[in-house]
Chains A and B, each alone.
Chain A
């Protein structure tokens, strides 16, 4: 099971804000990647508007998900693969364990996969006595440190070279160095042994093609290709929304994904996996199992307001531009999906009340939508989630978050409904603010619930006469 710590958002964010190393890493990382993606979008032959076409493509696939999945399953079987539809994480994990037992699997190598993080696969495999090795360099570092990824495509962004040097020295028994090529070589050497010894390779799936029955993975390290071809069994975990109708859509989506994620025209390794090794092939797994995971996605699909979230390609472009993520980092979100996409997806997957801070703790600046390769309207959905928290929603098992705030807005709606009442309340505030401490005409301290403002900022008092009050005597 995956550990959920969304309730500790504020606490974790506070810790991240004090971590100077993390602050520096996040700022540097965001600047590099957001600039790279921006330039890469602008250099698209079709221009940045290709994102809108990609959005339509993804929405089309999502709307036809049932049909596409059926065609895909049929193709996978025709290609000699096994396909399993898992309703939830537990079912998916059980199936994987069953396959592992059948092949007497002792060691697993993994390609980077967010969906396996979502269901906490590693913990379950290890509990069954299976050794699991993450083979993406960032994931490997995080795993050695006993931590969780803090970014979707750069899992170890929160760690410094020095920390990694110490970690490798301790865990891999190499002399201490903080030289990146030396550290990478050490990881490569250690991982090669794991690749060769593994009985099972596990990967995610960036997209799956209904037309051909392929699953496709992209990486920059080649580790996923190794993990999926060297072992005799390959198990793929894919979210049920990863599907496209035909290979033509791949062209647009992979070009956008690579640009959005890393500012590349195309990722270094793009692997099309269409089934187990056939008799005339020299390498590849003997068996391939594709686990298609629902785990709450059908519910998202059924709700028109949030269906768009299923278009997400998990490129993390929204993390790279988000001012909030840029300050609090991935761990604060308390679930594998962080940043703006996590702020929508996590509440929908694990419960809105439980993850309320994720959707309330965003500024609605809209940078995420602009950076998204498939133009997902994340701010619109954050607002939708806030509406559920404000009023409660039995359909999503959401209970009203804050009754006194609701009452406050009720009173507010009466006040703004009448200029006379509104003016009266202004007069009252005008009287009350006389008692607040000021300096150079600015308020230095505000009472609860506005005290957060004056923690770091002064506040201008309200004017003696409002603009509208001043206009009363002017004939309109």
Chain B
């Protein structure tokens, strides 16, 4: 209880955060969105969640459909233009907004200006907590052994690696075990996973083997796409190992 109140009593200069909810979280893992709200509730920061948001357009962009991805990008700007801080539970979607949105409009000065303004205010959850808010201890508790999977876009796209580990290490009761090759791709790759399922499966098998060999009870990550992929195989194998988005871990008390 003391741990909790110390967080709540701290004063943050941030007045409000807007949640940008990855489409997969929205439609398949709403519990992750709820955990995001709980985290900011704990921190005493008001949360806004625009209910018109849909998808960042990454799937279209990665498959080459740039005009369609632009529809998503323009919509994103419209919805979030007045936000101070936009926080997303996905490194991949954050990378789409921060890096690829400006690329999409590099020939359109008017939109590029709008886009750059909004994309520079967009943060992945753990980098927002650790780098912007300078919080590492969220007063969360979890009893068990955890291993952390570095999602490719979170790690190599946004260079986020220490932030989630700092947050996990501060969760009471957690033992963080590093798996072998945590930085190696899980084989998801969006449409790749269904277009080239044999290759995707072979890559995923290595990831799952490394998770199993780590001896962890739970694999935690910052991107639900990868976790969905990993969960898919763990379930098929009948493994007791669970997947958990980092927001769920941090929201837990």
- Chain A residue nearest to B47 (CB atoms) is A476
Complex CA–CA separation, A194 to B59 (angstroms): 55
A369 contacts B by Cβ under 8 Å: yes
Q: In the bound complex, do residue B189 and residue A362 qualify as a contact, i.e. CB atoms below 8 Å apart?
A: yes
Q: Which of B67, B157, B184 contacts A323 (CB 8 A)?
A: B184
B153 contacts A by Cβ under 8 Å: yes
Q: In the bound complex, do residue A413 and residue B51 qualify as a contact, i.e. CB atoms below 8 Å apart?
A: no
B60 contacts A by Cβ under 8 Å: yes
Q: In the bound complex, do residue A409 and residue B60 qualify as a contact, i.e. CB atoms below 8 Å apart?
A: yes
Q: In the bound complex, do residue A389 and residue B194 qualify as a contact, i.e. CB atoms below 8 Å apart?
A: no
Known pairs A323-B203, A417-B54. 16 more at Cβ < 8 A? A13-B199, A367-B185, A370-B156, A405-B63, A412-B60, A413-B68, A419-B51, A456-B233, A456-B236, A457-B232, A460-B28, A461-B28, A462-B28, A467-B26, A467-B32, A468-B21
**A313 CB → nearest B CB, Å:** 21
Q: Sort A-B residue pairs by CB-CB distance and give the 4 closest, nearest first.
A: A457-B232, A390-B64, A452-B197, A363-B189
**B102 CB → nearest A CB, Å:** 13
* 1/0 contact string of A310-345 vs chain B (CB within 8 Å): 000000000000011011100000000000000000
Complex CA–CA separation, A9 to B145 (angstroms): 40
Complex CA–CA separation, A460 to B188 (angstroms): 15
Q: In the bound complex, do residue B152 and residue A365 qualify as a contact, i.e. CB atoms below 8 Å apart?
A: yes
Q: Which of A327, A415, A474 contacts B49 (CB 8 A)?
A: A474
Q: In the bound complex, do residue A467 and residue B30 qualify as a contact, i.e. CB atoms below 8 Å apart?
A: yes
Total interface residues on A, CB under 8 Å, equals 65
**A128 CB → nearest B CB, Å:** 40
- List A443-457 residues whose CB lies under 8 Å from chain B: 449-453, 455-457
Interface residues of B (CB under 8 A from A): 21, 25-30, 32-34, 48-55, 57, 59-68, 71-72, 75, 152-153, 156-157, 183-185, 187-190, 192-204, 206, 228-229, 231-233, 235-236
A388 contacts B by Cβ under 8 Å: yes
Query: What residues on B are CB-neighbors of A362 within 8 Å?
Result: 189, 192
Interface residues of A (CB under 8 A from B): 10, 13-14, 17, 27, 323-324, 326-328, 360-367, 369-370, 383, 385-391, 405-406, 409-410, 412-413, 415-417, 419, 422, 426, 440, 442, 449-453, 455-463, 465-468, 470-472, 474, 476
Q: In the bound complex, do residue A458 and residue B201 qualify as a contact, i.e. CB atoms below 8 Å apart?
A: no
Given contact pairs A369-B156, A462-B28, A467-B33, A361 touches B192 in the complex (Cβ within 8 A): yes
Q: In the bound complex, do residue A383 and residue B64 qualify as a contact, i.e. CB atoms below 8 Å apart?
A: yes
Query: What residues on A are CB-neighbors of B52 within 8 Å?
Result: 419
- Give 28 pairs: A residue, B residue, CB < 8 Å, sorted on A: A327-B199, A327-B202, A363-B188, A363-B203, A364-B189, A364-B192, A367-B152, A367-B184, A386-B63, A387-B66, A390-B64, A391-B67, A416-B54, A416-B57, A442-B235, A453-B193, A455-B201, A458-B235, A459-B228, A460-B28, A462-B27, A463-B27, A467-B32, A467-B34, A468-B21, A470-B34, A471-B49, A474-B49
Complex CA–CA separation, A194 to B231 (angstroms): 57
Query: What residues on B are CB-neighbors of A363 within 8 Å?
Result: 152, 185, 187-189, 192, 200, 203
Query: What residues on A are CB-neighbors of B66 within 8 Å?
Result: 387, 390-391
Q: Which of B71, B153, B190, B193 contacts A416 (CB 8 A)?
A: B71
Complex CA–CA separation, A17 to B190 (angstroms): 21
- Chain A residue nearest to B205 (CB atoms) is A456
- Chain A residue nearest to B55 (CB atoms) is A416
Q: In the bound complex, do residue B199 and residue A17 qualify as a contact, i.e. CB atoms below 8 Å apart?
A: yes
Complex CA–CA separation, A255 to B109 (angstroms): 41
Given contact pairs A383-B61, A426-B27, A476-B48, A327 touches B232 in the complex (Cβ within 8 A): no
Instruction: Report whether over half of chain A's contact residues are helix, strand or loop; otherwise say mixed.
Output: helix
Complex CA–CA separation, A459 to B29 (angstroms): 12
Complex CA–CA separation, A432 to B33 (angstroms): 24
Complex CA–CA separation, A366 to B185 (angstroms): 9
Q: In the bound complex, do residue A422 and residue B54 qualify as a contact, i.e. CB atoms below 8 Å apart?
A: yes
Complex CA–CA separation, A51 to B183 (angstroms): 20
Complex CA–CA separation, A283 to B31 (angstroms): 75
Complex CA–CA separation, A17 to B184 (angstroms): 18
**B18 CB → nearest A CB, Å:** 9
Complex CA–CA separation, A362 to B67 (angstroms): 22
Complex CA–CA separation, A390 to B50 (angstroms): 31
**B219 CB → nearest A CB, Å:** 15
Complex CA–CA separation, A415 to B61 (angstroms): 16
Choose among A327, A367, A387, A470 the residue with the greatest number of B CB atoms under 10 Å from its CB.
Answer: A327
Q: In the bound complex, do residue A387 and residue B64 qualify as a contact, i.e. CB atoms below 8 Å apart?
A: yes
Given contact pairs A450-B194, A465-B30, A366 touches B63 in the complex (Cβ within 8 A): no
- Chain A residue nearest to B68 (CB atoms) is A413
Complex CA–CA separation, A471 to B204 (angstroms): 34
Q: In the bound complex, do residue B75 and residue A417 qualify as a contact, i.e. CB atoms below 8 Å apart?
A: yes
Q: In the bound complex, do residue B71 and residue A468 qualify as a contact, i.e. CB atoms below 8 Å apart?
A: no
Q: In the bound complex, do residue A391 and residue B64 qualify as a contact, i.e. CB atoms below 8 Å apart?
A: yes
- Chain B residue nearest to A472 (CB atoms) is B51
**B31 CB → nearest A CB, Å:** 8
Q: In the bound complex, do residue B65 and residue A17 qualify as a contact, i.e. CB atoms below 8 Å apart?
A: no
Given contact pairs A323-B187, A458-B236, A460-B29, A386 touches B197 in the complex (Cβ within 8 A): no
Q: In the bound complex, do residue B49 and residue A468 qualify as a contact, i.e. CB atoms below 8 Å apart?
A: yes
Query: What residues on B are CB-neighbors of A451 within 8 Å?
Result: 194
Choose among A361, A363, A412, A455 the residue with the greatest number of B CB atoms under 10 Å from its CB.
Answer: A363
Given contact pairs A323-B185, A409-B68, A13 touches B198 in the complex (Cβ within 8 A): yes
Complex CA–CA separation, A460 to B184 (angstroms): 24
Complex CA–CA separation, A409 to B58 (angstroms): 12
Query: What residues on B are CB-neighbors of A364 within 8 Å?
Result: 62, 152, 189-190, 192
Given contact pairs A366-B157, A409-B60, A416-B57, A327 touches B236 in the complex (Cβ within 8 A): no
Query: What residues on B are CB-neighbors of A27 within 8 Å?
Result: 206
Q: In the bound complex, do residue A419 and residue B196 qualify as a contact, i.e. CB atoms below 8 Å apart?
A: no
Complex CA–CA separation, A417 to B66 (angstroms): 15
Complex CA–CA separation, A53 to B224 (angstroms): 36
